[in-house]
Structure 1
């Protein structure tokens, strides 16, 4: 079968970038916002793409735009091409933390990780890498898609919250046990808490970012009933226990760091099968070989090892 060759001189690389944004975002306005260009400029680019491909690319279906079959079939190959080009252009033989300037975007599942894990790194960067900046955001519902679109550099999440890690470069950072936390002067709890107390005392349930925290999902799967009175973000839960009869479940590392500040009593969970959380660092092939990214990942790995050894 004869293959029609395309004159590459007719193709502007920016057209491929725009094509990926248009098909991924399913709209001119969103694609323009993502690429930082005007809507009229993106409309003109769409017209050029339609002429180049002899295909509408996006067509209206009711109140929304959908990609044509041809555009859908080209999306992943175009992404792969752009990824290969980025890798070629981004290759650097060395990265010097003391002098080089870089900004890294990191999504973190919960603010408590920023406090207990990333904060020590931020303090050290002032000395070790004064021109390196970390842009830290809480995980959003579309974190997997944002990682795939290369809008973020690293994702730090519990293993069970990111099944996509199996097909992406990743590394285990550390594990963290769970403990039951209550006010230090809780009137009904001594040095231990029974299963019946855990199930019947007022319970403070937690969320991580926009999702239920992994421990709540675990407790549900184990069939553990709770007398839920309050639901709050994981990072502030410990500060709401003072002077109440409520209990909650926290990561041990966070709980230990706040035990005096929040006047906490920490207890072994009376629950069989409650597994510790395992935090992963996940990235994409695009940054796998970049020297600066390798440095950051190693720094995070070393820090995790230090924190584990300290506990």
Structure 2
């Protein structure tokens, strides 16, 4: 019996992840015609069409959907077998681009310190921060990113995670806002203000509103924006009060108990809300990779050094 061409595994993995010949060709650096020929070989090898036309698009067949994760894991195991068993990593000579998927607030708060720490230890390493429009394990599962950073969602049982720090929500208003003139921000002061909230999905109510409702109170939400940095910008330029994680203020000069000259006034909320655990998440394929372990330790040490007290 003829042995299968195991090189086809790489093409199959990319093809199933992209779901298109053109996308797979771009990732593999092949021409569209070369990728089409590879698809023909894969169809012959598997006995399945793998990709079929649905209107103007191509979609995976049921068999292709079934073997997608198994193909990823098989390729991961093959690469692990061929990797030296005891690699001594020298960060000074490590040349690699790591992709971290995180929201804008994390990048603004921790990005500068992470970039500086990476440059000091591994000058040939590049950190690329990818946007995070939604919570999804797909980029990790398909090998499109090295780390997902944020609050744990429905990532699947195979995804590894490590808590980085505990965060909490704080209120923020512009410098000179009437709240900044109060010795303490009380419930009455807080609900008397107009508010801007951040929500990717457009949801208006959140944990603060639930806590207020239990006290028979309600705040006036005048605007909803898609991100916490946008909420900060609105609060800074208006009389609206924003609600943001405390970590988002790490690189923002705020008026606090020490009277720091700034354009923002931050205060503790007059209601109790649950804390937030920010974690880093990765796929098992990267678990034993020395370079990836180095990256995870770098992120952990920087975040724990920079994070605000919870």
TM band (smaller chain): 0.7 to 0.9
CA–CA distance in structure 1, aligned partners of residues 24 and 157 of structure 2: 29
Asked if 1:36 is matched to 2:35, the reply is no
Asked if 1:168 is matched to 2:166, the reply is no
CA–CA distance in structure 2, aligned partners of residues 307 and 188 of structure 1: 27
Residue of structure 2 in register with 1:3 after alignment: none
Residue of structure 2 in register with 1:26 after alignment: 19
Distance apart, 1:194 and its partner CA: 3.8
Distance apart, 1:307 and its partner CA: 2.7
Asked if 1:281 is matched to 2:272, the reply is no
Residue of structure 1 in register with 2:257 after alignment: none
CA–CA distance in structure 2, aligned partners of residues 116 and 267 of structure 1: 18
Residue 136 of structure 1 aligns to a residue whose secondary structure is strand
Superposed CA deviations along residues 120-160 of structure 1, whole A, max 9, x for unmatched, are 1212333222111111122133742111001111111112x
The gaps in structure 2 that reach 5 residues or longer are 255-259
Residue 170 of structure 2 aligns to a residue whose secondary structure is strand
The gaps in structure 1 that reach 5 residues or longer are 1-5
Residue of structure 2 in register with 1:233 after alignment: 227
Distance apart, 1:89 and its partner CA: 3.4
CA–CA distance in structure 2, aligned partners of residues 97 and 22 of structure 1: 33
CA–CA distance in structure 2, aligned partners of residues 297 and 87 of structure 1: 19
Distance apart, 1:165 and its partner CA: 6.0
Residue of structure 2 in register with 1:94 after alignment: 88
Distance apart, 1:98 and its partner CA: 1.9
Distance 1:188 1:290, change over 3 A: closer
CA–CA distance in structure 2, aligned partners of residues 24 and 230 of structure 1: 35
Residue 279 of structure 1 aligns to a residue whose secondary structure is strand
Residue 42 of structure 2 aligns to a residue whose secondary structure is helix
Q: CA RMSD in A?
A: 2.9
Task: Please identify which structure carries the higher helix content.
Answer: 1
CA–CA distance in structure 1, aligned partners of residues 35 and 198 of structure 2: 43
Residue of structure 1 in register with 2:292 after alignment: 293
CA–CA distance in structure 1, aligned partners of residues 287 and 12 of structure 2: 25
CA–CA distance in structure 2, aligned partners of residues 72 and 242 of structure 1: 48
The answer as to whether partners of 1:106 and 1:152 remain within 8 angstroms in 2 is yes
Superposed CA deviations along residues 64-89 of structure 1, whole A, max 9, x for unmatched, are 33333333333232222111122233
Residue 16 of structure 2 aligns to a residue whose secondary structure is helix
For normalisation by structure 2, the TM-score amounts to: 0.83
Residue number among 68, 71, 77 corresponding to 1:75 in the alignment: 68
Distance apart, 1:102 and its partner CA: 2.1
CA–CA distance in structure 2, aligned partners of residues 301 and 213 of structure 1: 31
CA–CA distance in structure 1, aligned partners of residues 307 and 130 of structure 2: 24
CA–CA distance in structure 2, aligned partners of residues 35 and 127 of structure 1: 32
CA–CA distance in structure 2, aligned partners of residues 113 and 215 of structure 1: 22
Residue number among 2, 23, 42 corresponding to 1:7 in the alignment: 2
Distance apart, 1:308 and its partner CA: 4.5
Residue of structure 2 in register with 1:64 after alignment: 57
Asked if 1:192 is matched to 2:184, the reply is yes
